[in-house]
Structures are given as C-alpha cells and as structure tokens.
C-alpha cells in the first residue's frame, strides 16, 4: 500500500513538474525585435502585450515559453477569461515583429524580407485551424499561413482593401510532424513555401499598386481560429512549437 501511494505521489509530481516547467524563449531565440500578444486581458481589458524589452529580460508564462526540448511554445486556450485584439474574434499567443523603436517603423513592399521557421502543431481546438505565420499590414493581412486539419495552406489577399477575397493554396500535409516554412516578400512579389512541399507566388504590387501605400510586418505563433467559448472542452486550445524562427531584411 505504501509503495502504491509513493508511486502515485511520484506520478503527480511528474505531472506537476511538466505543467509548471516555464523557461524564457530568449534562451534559444533572438527576440530583440519582437513583441507578443497574449490571449489574456491587460488592465484595460484589451489583449495583453509584452514588449521586446520585457521578453529579453526573461518573460515567460504558460502562454509563451521554452519547453524542455528547447522549443519556443505558444499556447492559446479558447475558453475561460480571455481577450482578443480589436479587429478579431479569436484569441492568440503571437509574436509581432517591430523594426526600430516602435510599431510604426515597419517595412514596405520594396526590398527583400523573409521569415523562416520550423514548427510543430501539437494541439488544435474544435475548428482544427491555427495561423502560424503572417505578413500583416496596418489594414488587412497580406499573407496568412494556416494549418488546418493536418494540411498547410497559404492564404494571400488579392487587394489592399480586402476586396475580392484571397488566393488559397495547399502547400503540404505534415499532420502533427515538423515542417519548415518560408514567407518571402521581394520587390512586391510574395512567395510562400513549405520545404518539400509546394509554393504559392503572387505579384501583389503588380496586381494592386495600392499595396505600395502600406507598411508590413511579420507575425508568428499560435493564432487559434476559434471564438472564445465555442469549444467548451476542458483544456481546449491551440499549441504550436517552434524549433527555429528567423526574419531577415
């Protein structure tokens, strides 16, 4: 009986240790030019944000941490006391690139801008959808990279005003396995690809010159495509793990 109790206690301790293991992602990743939006509210009720300085000082939480395998982990629950950004109905744990000293010092269509990452989608909610990478403008997202039910899709907006929908291209079918993606903008042309899979290419400036008026930035993480409370399963949410992530300009 004593042996059984001891085994139970050890099992509980192991679960607790795994649950409370929190380490800053800065141990393995250069995040000096990234802030993160969390799925919880700040004091004003908006989705909380952690600045690059706070991240570099060692910020970690159950929503954003380095796991025991050295993977940068983003956890987005979909039920409970959560918050979203003003123009979205979905919660997120998602990095947002910042070039320079503030969020308005972003890049334009000119030049060559690349985001490369290797990821695992470990959990999704009822919708089975999560956005793992983006090129966003001050208006609409130009590019969204979506994992849906084991498949990866590039979703590219046709026009700067968001009209005429988007071009959706299936790139790969990794399931829960590791895959590596590249989101690239070069002189007004985007290329979105998955290593060993397909590529989606779109001349966004040539198609709609109004994109020249926009500034852009990369995003990466777990942007769970589920409204808060829609999936009432205990522990429901989206977990995405990054083995690497680098942006270049």
Q: What beta strand segments (E) does 29-128 contain?
A: 34-41, 47-50, 64-66, 72-77, 92-97, 112-123
Whether 5 has a pLDDT exceeding 60, the answer reads no
Q: What is the pLDDT at residue 13?
A: 36
> H or E element: which one contains 169?
strand 166-172
Write the pLDDT tens digit of every residue in 54-109. 999 999 999 999 999 999 999 999 999 999 998 899 999 999 999 876 666 699 99
d(CA 145, CA 168): 10
On whether the CB atoms of residues 205 and 179 are closer than 8 A, the answer is: no
Domains in the chain: boundaries: 22-248
Q: What percent of the chain has pLDDT over 70?
A: 90
Whether 166 has a pLDDT exceeding 70, the answer reads yes
d(CA 101, CA 32): 11
Q: What is the pLDDT at residue 218?
A: 98
Average pLDDT estimate for 186-199: 98
Whether 8 has a pLDDT exceeding 70, the answer reads no
Write the pLDDT tens digit of every residue in 32-42. 999 999 999 99
Write out 180-208 in H/E/C secondary structure. EEEEEEECCEEEEEECCCCEEEEEHHHHC
Phi (first) and psi of residue 195, to 5 degrees: -55, 130
Q: What is the pLDDT at residue 17?
A: 38
What CATH number is given for 22-248 in this structure? 2.60.120.200
Q: What is the band of 45 on the pLDDT scale with cuts at 50, 70, 90?
A: confident
Average pLDDT estimate for 132-141: 95
Write the pLDDT tens digit of every residue in 196-245. 999 999 999 999 999 999 999 999 999 999 999 999 999 999 999 999 99
pTM for this entry: 0.89
Q: What is the pLDDT at residue 1?
A: 44
Whether 20 has a pLDDT exceeding 70, the answer reads no
């Amino acid at each position: 009986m004593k042996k059984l109790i001891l085994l139970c206690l050890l099992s509980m301790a192991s679960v607790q240790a795994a649950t409370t293991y929190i380490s800053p992602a800065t141990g393995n990743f250069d995040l000096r030019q990234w802030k993160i939006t969390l799925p919880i509210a700040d004091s004003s009720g908006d989705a909380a944000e952690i600045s690059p300085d706070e991240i570099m000082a060692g910020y970690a939480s159950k929503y954003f941490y380095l796991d025991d395998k050295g993977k940068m982990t983003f956890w987005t629950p979909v039920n409970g006391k959560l918050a979203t950004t003003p123009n979205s109905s979905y919660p997120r744990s998602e990095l947002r690139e910042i070039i320079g000293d503030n969020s308005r010092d972003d890049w334009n269509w000119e030049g060559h801008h690349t985001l490369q990452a290797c990821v695992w989608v470990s959990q999704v909610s009822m919708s089975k959808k999560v956005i793992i990478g983006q090129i966003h403008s001050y208006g609409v997202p130009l590019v969204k990279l979506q994992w849906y039910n084991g498949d990866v899709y590039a979703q590219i907006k046709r026009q700067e005003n968001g009209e005429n929908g988007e071009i959706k291209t299936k790139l790969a079918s990794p399931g829960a396995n590791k895959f590596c993606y590249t989101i690239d903008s070069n002189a007004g042309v985007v290329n979105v690809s998955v290593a060993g899979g397909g590529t989606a290419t779109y001349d966004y400036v040539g198609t709609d010159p109004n994109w020249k008026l926009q500034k852009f930035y990369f995003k990466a993480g777990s942007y769970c495509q589920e409204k808060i409370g829609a999936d009432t399963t205990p522990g429901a949410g989206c977990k995405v793990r990054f083995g690497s992530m680098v942006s270049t300009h």
